[in-house]
Amino acid sequence: MAHNGTREHMLELRNVHSYYGAIHALKGISLTVDRGEIVTLIGSNGAGKTTTIRTISGILHPREGQVILEGRDISRTPAYDIVKLGVAQSPEGRRIFPRLTVLENLEMGAYTRNDPQGIAEDLERVFELFPRLKERRNQQGGTLSGGEQQMLAIGRALMARPKLLLLDEPSMGLAPVLVETIFETIVEINEQGTTILLVEQNALMALEVAHRGYVLQTGQIVLEGAAKDLAASEMVRKAYLGEE
Amino acid sequence: MNVELLVNQLVIGITIGSYLALIALGYTMVYGILELINFAHGDIFAFGFLFSLTVLQFLNLEYPLSVPQIISILGPVMVLTMLAAGLLNVFIDRVAYRPLRNAPRLAPLITAVGASFALENLFAIWKGPSQIFYPPYVPRVDILREWLGIDTIIGFSTTDLMLLIVTIPLMILLSVFVRRTKLGKAMRATAQDREAAAMMGINVERVIMSTFFIGGALAGAAGMVFGLYLNTGRYLMGFEAGLMAFTAAVLGGIGNIAGAVLGGYFIGIFKALSDLYLPSEWTRAVVFAILVLVLVFRPAGLLGQATQEKV
Ligand SMILES: Nc1ncnc2c1ncn2[C@@H]1O[C@H](COP(=O)(O)OP(=O)(O)OP(=O)(O)O)[C@@H](O)[C@H]1O
Ligand SMILES: [Mg+2]
């Protein structure tokens, strides 16, 4: 990945602390994502991966530290404005609107946009990536299978034509074949020019497609580096790749 | 059993049902998004009655009005009333509910009752505590008997027609709005998953505001139409109408828009039939009985969706 020292990062978290009431979920996270990268965030259950995503997207605001998007502090920016700035997400648990059709779900993804032409193009692109969604476009979101809902959640995020795509466990609950497909699609989306921050339980797969990665443990980053190096590191192999 | 009499009550039921449905929509839309029962909603209906009456009195018109006058005067007054009622509902949300958005559910329920009391007392100061006369601006002519010369006991008058001409298109308009427009879809999305809606870039607070505005405007229209139709009201009229409309919303499945309309007509017809067999003081008891029965045996209502979210 080309690192341009003079250019700012696409996304930077500086010493971010996030809380749920009294629960201190993120204890000083610092990370960067550069234009064109796939960066992965791995860690076990409850490490704070989803919290990090929620803090970036403004659903949660950090109590301390900054979230900086293209040089601009968005720590206090409301979630709906952050989408306008070019950050979209496929959230944990998919969060499909169950009683909107597939097509309406996708339209909601494009909510902040006002270019019907571009929206129509992106709809075609999403249908190309996920032909299954095209077949089911008039079906209610809640009636889709888990895998189809995952495709819809990713497709819906793409409809925002984001600069930065946040994916929270896109492979969760999917059959192995489908996991392959989803990861191939992630690479394809990235190659088409979208920067991606990928949260995954499936560390092996995530490190295979990512350029760089961070390992999160109880709200802190304990390891970071090139994806290859992380995959080779003893700590990651033991903790997350299930090796003895 | 006399068929004509039954049809006559049915006509009355449909007329009553039309304005009840219009009020019920506001209950159900707000509940759909906030899971809040806006107790003050019935009072917005009363506000529509009082506000439109005040404007019409200020215009100092001779009644009944001619057809061109009905269109050129009552039309704009209705629009103004809807605007004012919508804004009042938005104001109530701002003052009584919005500060409690993240509080336990009981808190906004209490402020809702408070808002309702406050409005009712303001109305009593505004127009006095006794029965209020709403002049018959729309002439009442019996269409079947007087115009068509049909010998029947079925009464269907120009005021019935006026009520249907106003309420039914409003309901159709709302339904099209919610299904087809961007804001309408955003309302449904917000009702289904508020946080996910925010992740789509939807300004949830603005959607909530629009919901209160639209619900209030519909109730305001219902209040004015009610005045033109019945020619009488009282500062507490919102309480009774609100109770019936709320029951209609619960009966149809609270949160469900088609359900509110269906429930409105159901309650309207039920009331008309109960008036046929029971003294009208019983209406309230009958409606309460329906409310209790629905809550016990079919809490999701006629069209209510069982909450079926996939994990
Ligand atoms: N809504 C909440 N209220 C209170 N605590 C929460 C809430 N959500 C998460 N937490 C806590 O914050 C910590 C981080 O949770 P988070 O969801 O970010 O973990 P995660 O890394 O995404 O885990 P998983 O892999 O299981 O999804 C956990 O200890 C969790 O219990
Ligand atoms: Mg998580």
How far off is chain B from A59, nearest CA to CA, in Å? 8
Rounded CA Rg of chain B: 20
Position B244 pLDDT exceeds 90: yes
Q: What pLDDT score does B286 carry?
A: 87
Q: What pLDDT score does B9 carry?
A: 93
Position B309 pLDDT exceeds 70: no
Surrounding ion ligand 2 within 5 Å at CB are: A 49-50, 92
Give per-residue pLDDT as tens, B135-156. Answer: 999 999 999 998 998 888 899 9
Q: What is the mean pLDDT of residues A10-39?
A: 97
**Interchain contact B102–A (C-beta under 8 A):** no
Tell me the average pLDDT of chain A: 93
**Interchain contact B193–A (C-beta under 8 A):** yes
Other beta carbons within 10 Å of A97: 25
Question: Is A48 a pocket residue for ligand 1 (Cβ < 6 Å)?
Answer: yes
- Say how many domains are in chain B: 1
Domain that holds residue B54: 3-310
| CATH classification of the domain holding B215 | 1.10.3470
Question: Is A56 a pocket residue for ligand 1 (Cβ < 6 Å)?
Answer: no
DSSP B32-49: HHH----TTHHHHHHHHH
Question: Is A54 a pocket residue for ligand 1 (Cβ < 6 Å)?
Answer: no
Atom of ligand 1 nearest to the CA of A51: 18
Residue A51 · residue A92 · CB < 8 Å: no
Q: What is the mean pLDDT of residues B42-71?
A: 96
Proportion of chain A above pLDDT 70, given as a percent: 95
Position B305 pLDDT exceeds 70: no
From atom 5 of ligand 1, which residue's Cα is the shortest distance away? Answer: A20
Its ipTM equals 0.93
Q: What pLDDT score does A243 carry?
A: 59
Tell me the average pLDDT of chain B: 93
Rounded CA Rg of chain A: 17
Position B311 pLDDT exceeds 50: no
- Quick one: pLDDT band at residue B307, thresholds 50, 70, 90? very low
**Interchain contact A223–B (C-beta under 8 A):** no
Give per-residue pLDDT as tens, B277-295. Answer: 888 888 888 888 988 998 8
CA distance B2 to B13: 17
**Interchain contact B189–A (C-beta under 8 A):** yes
Mutate to test the pocket of ligand 1, among A18, A19, A20 (most ligand atoms within 8 A of CB): A20
Q: What pLDDT score does A7 carry?
A: 64
In this complex, do B203 and A149 lie within 8 Å of one another by their Cβ atoms? no
| SS3 annotation, B252-272 | HCCCCHHHHHHHHHHHHHHHH
Which residues in chain A have their CB less than 8 angstroms from residue B192's CB?
Answer: 97-100
Question: Is A20 a pocket residue for ligand 1 (Cβ < 6 Å)?
Answer: yes
Whole-prediction pTM: 0.92
Q: What pLDDT score does A95 carry?
A: 97
From atom 4 of ligand 1, which residue's Cα is the shortest distance away? Answer: A20
Position B110 pLDDT exceeds 80: yes
Q: Which tokens in the block code for residue A182? A: 């989803």
Search chain A and give the residue with CA nearest B188: A100
